[in-house]
Structure 1
Amino acid sequence: MLSTLRTIIQEVNGARDLPESLDIIVSRVQEAMNTEVCSVYLLDPETNRYYLMATEGLHKSSVGKVSLAHSEGLIGLVGSREEPINLEDAPSHPRYRYFPETGEERFKSFLGVPIIHHRRVLGVLVVQQRQNSRCFDEGEEAFLVTVSAQLAGLIAHSEATGAIGGLSLTGGAARDVSFRGVAGSPGVAIGQGVVVYPPADLDAVPDKLCENIDDELARFDAAVAAVREDINAVGERLAAQLRPEEQALFDVYLRMLDGNALPGEVCLRIKEGKWAPGALREVVHQYVRHFEMMGDHYLRERAVDIKDLGRRVLSHLQEGEAQTIEYPQNTILVSEELTATMLGEVERGCLAGLVSVRGSSNSHVAILARAMGVPTVMGMVDVPVNQLDGRELIVDGYDGKVYASPSAELRTFFESICEEEEELVRGLEELKDKPCETPDGHRIKLMVNTGLMTDVVRSLSHGAEGIGLYRTEVPFMINERFPSEQEQRAYYREQLEAFAPNEVTMRTLDIGGDKSLPYFPIAEENPFLGWRGIRVTLDHPEIFLVQVRAMLKASQGLNNLRIMLPMISNVSEVEEALHLIYRVYHEVREENFDVVMPKVGVMIEVPAAVYQVRELADRVDFLSVGSNDLTQYLLAVDRNNPRVASLYHSYHPAVLQALYRIAQDAHQVGKPVSICGEMAGDPGGALLLMAMGYDTLSMNAASLPKVKSVIRSVPLSWARKLLEDVMFLDSPHVVKSCVELALKSEGFGRYLRPEHVLPVDRGSASA
């Protein structure tokens, strides 16, 4: 059965569209289960009805015509119960619904299983048998459930592909097609999709038309010729070390690159008007599927060779291609996985929004997007990214949705939201130079999280009182090697000078988890519980010492530097890091740099540190909570995984209680405590944190005016009463509702996510 399932999936992967995918499914399942009927009914999100979309055994003429209401018949029962229904005498069931046009009166046995993807019922897969001849056993039921679970994602992807192309499930025109992901950065962006992809990644190549077929053919021929030269050169270099049968592999590669083989088929597609990388992707995928379906193990392994050849040719095609990407004025940057480098390649002023298949609201790119004020949707798992290039898109960063090819009415609706946002920002500008103080006299510092120099400009214009978190890994991520001491010193000096005399808190290099360096890869099965943060830099003191030396030298004459240590989980790590910092301080002083010893603090972002606040505070000058990671670790939710994104919640009772304990313990030993996670930038979250006793809130620059406006309007006593009301509630959703209701009652509803009712979404990464 596993072999059968693998074959079905491979065939479905190779299908051109949704109807072909479904035809393959019903045909192969009917054959595998040796049953008389196999059918697929899909739920149309627009009409909320089930449609017979494919069948083997019923009348083909009924496909696309037979439909049932959401709760009608046995199909509706399977969907509403979200579990298999196995009946030996289906017509006797009270929910049985008979359709004469299908010819199903001859079939009595019924087994239906729901097709579910990310909690969304897509449809029902059904097998049937003639009267008195069959009772489906447990093994058959289990097989059909397995088939359904495995194929759900493929069906969702095919459905989404058709919708983007303008076709609804029933074959009509699809308008205002929406796809649900995870809200990454608030705001609304309207613009043109530009798909970017990593080098030599065939799967990520978008569909495009070429402007000049002859030029595209010449470009492809040159790439193939270059690969042939590469293979010949490698073969000659290794000739003395290989046996004749191993040497023959290079001849196989060259034969595959013969004009009558793979290149010939690519050229045919180019002549149809497709650009070379897209044509290459189609042909390579076709070859790979063909080889993977072969019964012979040796021939199946040749699929790897095809992939390798495809990547080699694509690599040559992409040489110099980066310069040819044109970014329109309102670019919506789309990728399988966005990186900080991709963001940096878009010309200043052109980046309107971001869409990423991978990642979640608390992945590093999402945090950067919030710092830059760019509306972002992450975790778009089921969206066929390569079809979004050049299409008009709307990115709803409030609700985590992307709309493809919007109607004029929908565009007008979102344009009105953009205008409201701009008006709100203009209204908050007057607060820039005013202190962040409650009406009853409580003063709290508002700082910003930065990583890029553009963050600094925005932060100063919004009235930030310093930097609560400077992500020093950003300069490391935008380089192709470790930056030198002098280069780091220049980066750090920019930040320190911009905010002097206010404090600038620099976190030492925090890589690992979802932040990797291309020149220092860290490959782990569970990176968030692995080698990251202080663990890396203590294992590599040569990196840590150079960084601290650059920080100290950059602070000369300014003396506004603070150093913060990330991912601390025990006291010994702090003591070892302090030893190295003091060592560097004395060495820099001996080099005649007139610097003062900066304050050193630790980040509380690991549950173990929550229970060691007093011991850690005895050894450092300040504490700062990284609420993003702390929430992730407390809830055991990978913040980069869109499948569990809905479980990640800053208002979770356990998170609130941990944050409250940290603030109380820190103050009891006389040490200041700040928080630099995303919760600080949420107006409701900021009020709760102020009530808990946090001295400083650090956030992205875009959030600062809203938070300041709320704090200046609400007495500390009111915030403490709100904290008392929600502290012991048992649901994060109830806590969030209570906080939002309280904000609305004080007239701050305009700072919350806009409420709007819009068309149904086609896919869901987090529903």
Structure 2
Amino acid sequence: MMLDALRRIVQAVNTADDLQSALDIMVQRIAQVMGVEVCTVYLKDFETGRLVMMANQGFNPELVGVVSLAEDEGLVGVVARREEPLNLDNAEEHPNYFYLEGIGEELYHSFLGAPIIHQRRLHGVLVVQQKDSRRFDEDEEAFLVTMSAQLAGVIAHAKATGAIGGKNRQRDASRSAEFTGIAGAPGIAMGTAVLVIPEADLYAVPSRPCEDIEAEVAFFFQCLQAVREDITNIKNRLQDKLAKEERALFDVYLSMLDDRALGMEIESRIREGEWAQGALAQVVISHVRTFEGMEDAYLKERATDVKDLGRRVLAYLQTANTRDIEYPERTILVGEELTASIMAEVPREKLAGLVSVRGSSNSHVAILARAMGVPTIMGAVDLPFTQVEGANLVLDGYNGIVHYNPAKELYARFEAIYAEQQELSKGLETLRDKPSETLDGHRMPLWVNTGLMADVARSIDHGAEGVGLYRTEIPFLLRERFPSEEEQRVIYREQLQAFSPLPVTMRTLDIGGDKSLPYFPIDEENPFLGWRGIRVTLDHPEIFLVQVRAMLKASVGMDNLRVMLPMISNVPELEEALELIYRAHDELVDEGIKAKLPPIGVMVEVPSAVYQAREMARRVDFLSVGSNDLTQYLLAVDRNNSRVADLYHSLHPAILRALYEVANAAQAEGKPVGICGELAGDPGAAILLLAMGYDMLSMNASSLLKVKSVIRSHSLADAKKLLEKALEQESSADVKDLVREAMTAAGVDKMLQPSMGDQLRAKR
């Protein structure tokens, strides 16, 4: 029964129009279900630090928004400070009891409070009280704790939504807000939000003003009529195949689409100034939530029908309303889940930044953004993204913060920080033609990771000595079908020619995980442990052979190609892939094409490969560590999950030990070993990798000069001493502290990722 009650309360809260309505529903329903006289919600005011009574059932309603407590005051303060439940049968006997005059609290002896915590941050306290002097039982306490946990996200999101206008979607140009996500790609971006709208997704429709109300109303009813005709045609087509009761369902659909039903509500929204798509989405979502909150099973199912009809109308509105997107000079692309293909649609000179509600700093799009030098924030889960289109945004890509409509003073500070970073970049340009070597003369070649032709010029300008990873999946992601052998050959030839005579390492097709092709979907419950990388291409040798043939053909006359195999987890898998490469080479030789067999390498990115690195090194020409996935698998942290992103520690002692083991295995077999994951572009980590004996570091172009600066400031002997200490540490925080101390001593601490919070405070 409690579970049903909890579900109904959450559904009711989700249908609320704004935060205050949600809180009012919450206290009323909880008091009713638990049979208590009082239920109160206190929310934390992050500016003052006080806990403000924002809703109550049982006390004077005029006290809402007036009564507040410091975190060291009263029983509510105890719950907030300890971040754990407090259950008392005689509240007034507790040493922290604090009498609030005028609310009648002295009448209530029993007290049960639970903290409201979202993403490790206290948002408030949920309290129930009763006149009887009794201790709430375990079931009641568990219910309130579960209730607060379930509602924490709802409250946090409602607070965030309210910060920029709430459900009415009318933005207040004078209001500012901050939304926290995950730092995806470093840098500061200032510009205008442009929202990416998925097709027929009611929940992703942005709020936009309507320019011509009468035209918009007429346009809406035209699309509504088109859907009515579609439903009628389907009904007529199935006339002889459906029972009378089933045919009646279509009449229900048609009645829902009547001008006087949904049509009238949506027209009313349009006449208030909302465009047709936004008005449709707002009205339909409101009805869907109402049906979903009903107890009757039949009525609950109607939510699906309303949603389906809404999508049908939206599809017509979107198709008829198709227009070329006009990108502002400084576009900040915002979406629920951005992809590489979406990113590629924006002219590079206009793309200032990216914000994705889903994903983490190691999502594929974030990796590409770093390669292109585009400041990016991932996992901004509380951002009401449908309401920010056209807004003025500042992205702090160093600390993962989206500033909505920042005040002039804050905007000016970010401009100053941006100028400082640009100055630092200019200063590093003097290192472009200088060798990447330590103070005692040890050479460390720096290569780049690429995927787009746009990367080429930047890579060469920054002094890259080769390509350690060319992501061949990019051309596949940007098409609506598999590219042909000739199309691939042309693309690969461009890359090889652009960097010739420098080596170019091409990774064979690496799809699956967070890289799904729209025309070759891979739908799995656990995609990162599923069908991805070499597993896909070995199951489809026709795809693998075509790609390898295209690579070998492209290299004719230049011979700067290297081929790298992703996601190898065992020796038989490697041997099977090698046989296919030899077969493709033999085919070309038989065809009279003088293609040389290139060096072949293995990406070490799963734990099993770490412990078989020596066996694999015997069979190939080189090893290259993919630190992103290796970190993910060793730490059991999904790198696309913003909830556990703070557990993804690339300098974790276990990761360092695994990296050291791979380097030793390669050296024992006399084979070169490099690293092409994001760790290679971390200036601090570069010192440790240097000491381990890695022969090459491959990174995004924007990191090249920073890493070179750090390498040139250290000796190999000092780096080895640092590594020895780092391997003895028990946490990534301890390792980071060691690295920071070493870089400060060498005078290159500016290369560390800056803390914008510290810089902003320093300017106050």
TM-score, normalization by structure 1 = 0.96
| Alignment correspondent of 1:538 | 538
Structure 2 CA distance for aligned equivalents of residues 192 and 287 of structure 1 = 32
Structure 1 CA distance for aligned equivalents of residues 230 and 483 of structure 2 = 32
What is the CA-CA distance between 1:80 and the residue it aligns to? 1.1
Structure 2 CA distance for aligned equivalents of residues 311 and 165 of structure 1 = 25
- 1:613-637 CA distance string (max 9 Å, x none): 1111111111100000000000000
Letter in 1 for 2:26: I
C-alpha spacing 1:320/1:570, structure 2 compared with 1 (3 Å): farther
Residue 345 in 1 paired to residue 363 in 2?
A: no
Structure 1 CA distance for aligned equivalents of residues 291 and 399 of structure 2 = 42
| Alignment correspondent of 2:722 | 722
| Alignment correspondent of 1:105 | 106
- 1:673-715 CA distance string (max 9 Å, x none): 0100001001111111111000010000110111112212222
Structure 2 CA distance for aligned equivalents of residues 548 and 320 of structure 1 = 43
Letter in 2 for 1:718: D
What is the CA-CA distance between 1:252 and the residue it aligns to? 2.1
| Alignment correspondent of 2:614 | 614
- Whether the aligned pair in 2 keeps the contact of 1:334 and 1:355 (CA below 8 Å) is yes
- Whether the aligned pair in 1 keeps the contact of 2:486 and 2:550 (CA below 8 Å) is yes
Structure 2 CA distance for aligned equivalents of residues 620 and 234 of structure 1 = 60
- Whether the aligned pair in 2 keeps the contact of 1:46 and 1:760 (CA below 8 Å) is no
- Whether the aligned pair in 2 keeps the contact of 1:177 and 1:759 (CA below 8 Å) is no
- Whether the aligned pair in 1 keeps the contact of 2:194 and 2:333 (CA below 8 Å) is yes
Taking the TM superposition and a 5 Å limit, the aligned residue runs for 1:173-188 are 176-188=176-188
Structure 2 CA distance for aligned equivalents of residues 108 and 174 of structure 1 = 45
Residue 219 in 1 paired to residue 219 in 2?
A: yes
Structure 2 CA distance for aligned equivalents of residues 341 and 416 of structure 1 = 33
What is the CA-CA distance between 1:104 and the residue it aligns to? 1.2
Runs of 4+ in 1 over 4 A off after TM superposition: 172-176, 758-761
- Whether the aligned pair in 1 keeps the contact of 2:684 and 2:752 (CA below 8 Å) is no
What is the CA-CA distance between 1:444 and the residue it aligns to? 1.6
Structure 1 CA distance for aligned equivalents of residues 295 and 23 of structure 2 = 23
- Whether the aligned pair in 1 keeps the contact of 2:627 and 2:676 (CA below 8 Å) is yes
| Alignment correspondent of 1:458 | 458
C-alpha spacing 1:235/1:603, structure 2 compared with 1 (3 Å): same
| Alignment correspondent of 1:592 | 592
| Alignment correspondent of 2:376 | 376
Give the 3-state SS of the residue equivalent to 1:563 in structure 2.
Answer: strand
Letter in 2 for 1:154: V
C-alpha spacing 1:682/1:635, structure 2 compared with 1 (3 Å): same
Give the 3-state SS of the residue equivalent to 2:280 in structure 1.
Answer: helix
Residue 674 in 1 paired to residue 674 in 2?
A: yes
| Alignment correspondent of 1:396 | 396
- 1:579-615 CA distance string (max 9 Å, x none): 1111111111222222101111110000000000111
Taking the TM superposition and a 5 Å limit, the aligned residue runs for 1:61-80 are 61-80=62-81
What is the CA-CA distance between 1:221 and the residue it aligns to? 2.0
C-alpha spacing 1:389/1:692, structure 2 compared with 1 (3 Å): same
| Alignment correspondent of 1:411 | 411
What is the CA-CA distance between 1:173 and the residue it aligns to? 11
C-alpha spacing 1:521/1:166, structure 2 compared with 1 (3 Å): closer
Q: Which ranges of structure 2 fall in alignment gaps of 5 or more residues?
A: none
C-alpha spacing 1:481/1:240, structure 2 compared with 1 (3 Å): farther
| Alignment correspondent of 1:237 | 237
- 1:724-751 CA distance string (max 9 Å, x none): 1211100101111211121122111211
- Whether the aligned pair in 1 keeps the contact of 2:41 and 2:126 (CA below 8 Å) is yes
Give the 3-state SS of the residue equivalent to 1:436 in structure 2.
Answer: coil
| Alignment correspondent of 1:638 | 638
What is the CA-CA distance between 1:367 and the residue it aligns to? 0.1
What is the CA-CA distance between 1:131 and the residue it aligns to? 4.2
Residue 210 in 1 paired to residue 210 in 2?
A: yes
| Alignment correspondent of 1:268 | 268
Task: Say what the alpha-carbon RMSD is for the aligned residues.
Answer: 1.8
- Whether the aligned pair in 1 keeps the contact of 2:398 and 2:755 (CA below 8 Å) is no
Residue 93 in 1 paired to residue 94 in 2?
A: yes
Structure 1 CA distance for aligned equivalents of residues 9 and 166 of structure 2 = 27
Give the 3-state SS of the residue equivalent to 1:617 in structure 2.
Answer: helix
What is the CA-CA distance between 1:757 and the residue it aligns to? 3.3
- Whether the aligned pair in 1 keeps the contact of 2:617 and 2:665 (CA below 8 Å) is no
Structure 1 CA distance for aligned equivalents of residues 200 and 265 of structure 2 = 20
For CA contacts below 8 A with separation 6 or more, give which structure has more relative contact order. Answer: 1
Residue 290 in 1 paired to residue 290 in 2?
A: yes
Structure 2 CA distance for aligned equivalents of residues 662 and 19 of structure 1 = 56
Structure 1 CA distance for aligned equivalents of residues 60 and 137 of structure 2 = 26
Structure 1 CA distance for aligned equivalents of residues 256 and 491 of structure 2 = 50
Structure 2 CA distance for aligned equivalents of residues 372 and 429 of structure 1 = 17
- Whether the aligned pair in 1 keeps the contact of 2:469 and 2:505 (CA below 8 Å) is yes
Structure 2 CA distance for aligned equivalents of residues 389 and 250 of structure 1 = 37
Letter in 2 for 1:336: E
| Alignment correspondent of 2:475 | 475
Structure 1 CA distance for aligned equivalents of residues 366 and 438 of structure 2 = 31
What is the CA-CA distance between 1:759 and the residue it aligns to? 12
What is the CA-CA distance between 1:483 and the residue it aligns to? 1.1
What is the CA-CA distance between 1:529 and the residue it aligns to? 0.6
Structure 2 CA distance for aligned equivalents of residues 580 and 372 of structure 1 = 33
Structure 2 CA distance for aligned equivalents of residues 759 and 19 of structure 1 = 36
- Whether the aligned pair in 1 keeps the contact of 2:164 and 2:176 (CA below 8 Å) is no
Structure 1 CA distance for aligned equivalents of residues 38 and 84 of structure 2 = 20
- Whether the aligned pair in 1 keeps the contact of 2:18 and 2:166 (CA below 8 Å) is no
Taking the TM superposition and a 5 Å limit, the aligned residue runs for 1:186-197 are 186-197=186-197
